[in-house]
Amino acid sequence: MKPVVKQTKKWLEDIVIKHNFCPFAKKELLRDSIRFYVIDSSDMAEALQALVDEFFYLDNHTETETTLVILPNGFNQFDDYLDLVALANALLEDQEYSGIYQLASFHPDYCFEGTDNDDPANYTNRSPYPTLHIIRETSLARAIASHPDVAGIPEQNIAYARKLGRDKLQSDLDLIRN
Within 13 Å and on the Cβ side, how many CA atoms surround 46? 10
- Note the pLDDT tens digit of each residue in 41-79: 999 999 999 999 999 999 999 999 999 999 999 899 999
Contact present, 10 and 176 (Cβ < 8 Å) = yes
CA distance 51 to 117: 28
pTM exceeding the 0.85 threshold for the entire prediction: yes
Edge-to-edge strand ranges of the sheet holding 34-38: 34-38, 66-70, 131-136, 101-106
- Note the pLDDT tens digit of each residue in 121-175: 999 999 999 999 999 999 888 877 887 787 788 899 999 999 999 999 999 999 9
Buried b (16+ CB within 10 A) or exposed e, 49-64: ebbeebbeebeeeeeb
pLDDT of residue 89 exceeding 80, the answer is yes
Q: Which of 149, 129, 135, 148 is CA-nearest to residue 12?
A: 129
